[in-house]
Structure 1
Amino acid sequence: MNVQLPNTKPHYIILDGLRGVAAITVVAFHILEAHATSHLDMMINHGYLAVDFFFLLSGFVIGYAYDDRWQKLSLGEFFKRRLIRLHPLIIFGMLVGAVCFYFQDSAPWPKIDEVPLSTLLVVMIIGFTLIPLPISMDIRGWQEMHPLNGPAWTLFFEYVANILYAVGLRRLPNIALAVLAVLAAGALIHLGLTNPYGDVIGGWSLDPTQLYIGSVRLLFPFLAGLLLSRIIKLGTISNAFTWCSLLLLIVLAMPRIGGSENLWMNGLYDSLTIILIFPIVIYLGASGRVEGPIQNNICKFLGDISYPIYITHYPLIYIYTGWVQEHRYSIEDTALVAVLVFVGSIALSYAALKLYDEPLRNWLTRKFVAK
């Protein structure tokens, strides 16, 4: 629990750093996913589980930041704070997605002369609101609720979690939260064991099956994170950032388990990683000490770019994926371009943070948030 700010709670800077590690891993996962032929041969095979880690971390941070403030905090004030924190970059990510869609020129994707500009603008404007689009309005062909910026589906569920927390979950005693978390864990294990793909991947489409998957992926991590923020007694752990980063990278990069013959094995790995390993990572990270100014700066940088890189990188992935699939390139053929996309995603996120997000959030906070 690492840096004490004046008149504030201690700030979990190591958890910020771990969020950044997971977010950068997602970028690498999506770049390499363009070369996969199925779920079985994806490189950084379990990178998709970073989403579930984000949900658990969100529950922990929301509970820690807001549980003891409701005597002075109104619902309106809470939602204003969350909108100011999250929504500017949602709008920016949709703008980047619209620009990339307009100029995309690979065979797998529709050209702008196949999708009227007016339709593109409507999809973009609806995307600004984060209202999910029905499959009938999908202009890309991947059945995404946000076809200009696919990962925005997780922000839709993040907003759902924030609403559930504000209107009800915050009032529940720990025993009730624990019961709900156990039930949600059972649903998560069931999903992992029965999903026909042998994993917990899904949640990005506005159809019953995908909405169910997204809800199951949200509920246990968020409830567990919220409960964890209330009940854990933190220790003092040295080198926590290093060890937690390694553990996180190992579970996300783990090769596919069970192959095509035993799909349930990989689904069980997914669910148990979310239920057992991720809470341990959060506990260790929250209990850790920053080891000197260099590690402090690394954690701060990773934490600063974690959300921007997650919500802005995927329009670049669309272009890269289309190019790879059109020409049937291997990763060896495109290694230099892949590195450029990776570095470009980091650069774009940092520019968005410093030139757009931070100035806008500071202005909105001064204008609309009560002192």
Structure 2
Amino acid sequence: MITKEHYFHLLDGLRGIAALIVMWRHTGYFWGGWTIPQSYLAVDLFFVLSGVVVANAYEARLRAGLAPARFALLRLIRLYPLYLLGSLLGLIPVAAALLGLLPPSLATPLPLVLLAAALLLPLVSEPNLFPLNSPAWSLFFELGANLAYAAVLRYLDSALLAAIMLASALGLALALQAAPGQGLHGGYSPATMAVGLCRVGYGFFAGVALLRYFNSGRRAPLRRGARAWLCGALVLAGLLAVLLARPPAPLRPWFDLAAVTMVFPLLIYLAMGCRVSGRAAQACALLGAISYPLYVLHVPLGRLVNGALGQLLAPPPVMAVAGLVFAGVLLPLCWLLDQRVDAPLRRWLMRRNGIVVK
């Protein structure tokens, strides 16, 4: 296991930046519809990061006897509370529609929607698998990958890892051939669930493979000081170059495939070798702390603000100002939720379930 001082700070920073990019994408109504072109690929970065972090935190414990069911409980404690809060916030527009204040937004009976949301299960009867909080589709696939990882870990040697990644990459290539105009923007709808499965299948297990290679002793020496700063800048520049790119339509499918299967794993591996400290480490830790609350709360909260402004027929300049205020309030709110609500609640849940809190 590699300690946080070696690489976690920079990975936390990447996770926070990716969450900010996803928020920008989903709140385009504030910015006149402008979004970062390839921002949907940030989810694939999350999947690789998840593989690294989960393997680092749990692989040794699973091999030492941690039961897969106990592991599943730990992952639910980590993901579920803020997911539930986001889903409850997503109920507000539904309630407004039931009162006649907004147009109907659901084709599925509300009790079934509530049951599926409570169980973190997708609804194939809706255009979005998680209509109360659409980004939750990636949590569903990530949790599935986590559970599969724990279930097959005893057999998960290099050959099986390579087979899973190869099969997932081939699935992505087939999906791109079938719908090249879609790119790899899939997984959130019933028609694209297979794409989501392949995205998480490649990304998560690529993260596991990266950590194992990093721990094998064949890696380059850790970079510190100015070298770490330079490496971190190169990683950030590479990430932004991918997400801001506008590849020609014929090349977009293969651009997406190369980004997901090669560029993102390479960037994360470079980041793993950077040891940052001081204010840089503090900034990365802050970005990491807000990343998950931001990811699961920005859509329902943004919809509430957008719905209210839509009722007032706010012009574009007002919308842009509202977007800035929204982001300015949401980011510190996410930090407070992480520090004062989610972290204490998770510690309490772990103690209640007899889990030692370190």
Normalised by the length of structure 1, the TM-score is 0.83
Q: CA deviation at 1:344?
A: 3.0
Q: Deviations over 1:81-132 (max 9, x none)?
A: 1111111111111112123543579xxx97468579x955653453122011
Identity of aligned residues (%): 31
Task: Tell whether the 8 Å contact from 1:97 to 1:315 is kept in structure 2 after alignment.
Answer: yes
Aligned equivalents of 1:115, 1:53: Cα separation in 2 = 31
1:228 equivalent to 2:210? Answer yes
Give the counterpart letter for 1:156 in structure 2: F
Normalised by the length of structure 2, the TM-score is 0.85
1:60 corresponds in structure 2 to 52
Q: Number of residues paired by the alignment?
A: 344
Aligned equivalents of 1:173, 1:157: Cα separation in 2 = 22
Residues 1:251 and 1:180: Cα distance change in structure 2 (over 3 Å): same
2:88 corresponds in structure 1 to 95
Give the counterpart letter for 2:23 in structure 1: V
Task: Tell whether the 8 Å contact from 1:305 to 1:349 is kept in structure 2 after alignment.
Answer: yes
1:84 corresponds in structure 2 to 77
1:341 corresponds in structure 2 to 326
Q: As a proportion of its length, which structure holds more helix?
A: 2
1:133 corresponds in structure 2 to 123
Aligned equivalents of 2:337, 2:97: Cα separation in 1 = 21
Give the counterpart letter for 1:14 in structure 2: L
2:146 corresponds in structure 1 to 162
Consecutive unaligned residues of structure 1, counting only runs of 5 or more, are: 5-9
Given the alignment, which residue of 47, 50, 67 partners 2:42? 50
Residues 1:114 and 1:25: Cα distance change in structure 2 (over 3 Å): closer
Consecutive unaligned residues of structure 2, counting only runs of 5 or more, are: none
Q: CA deviation at 1:182?
A: 2.0
Q: CA deviation at 1:27?
A: 0.8
Residues 1:2 and 1:294: Cα distance change in structure 2 (over 3 Å): farther
Alignment of 1:1-371 (within 5 A): 3-4=4-5, 12-32=8-28, 43-69=35-61, 70-103=63-96, 111=101, 114=104, 120=110, 123-135=113-125, 138=126, 143-169=127-153, 171-205=155-189, 207=190, 209-232=191-214, 233-237=219-223, 238-239=228-229, 240-254=231-245, 256-258=246-248, 263-290=249-276, 292-319=277-304, 334-371=319-356
Q: CA deviation at 1:354?
A: 2.6
Task: Tell whether the 8 Å contact from 1:236 to 1:287 is kept in structure 2 after alignment.
Answer: yes
Task: Tell whether the 8 Å contact from 2:94 to 2:104 is kept in structure 1 after alignment.
Answer: no
Task: Tell whether the 8 Å contact from 2:122 to 2:129 is kept in structure 1 after alignment.
Answer: yes
Aligned equivalents of 1:125, 1:244: Cα separation in 2 = 41
Aligned equivalents of 2:322, 2:339: Cα separation in 1 = 25
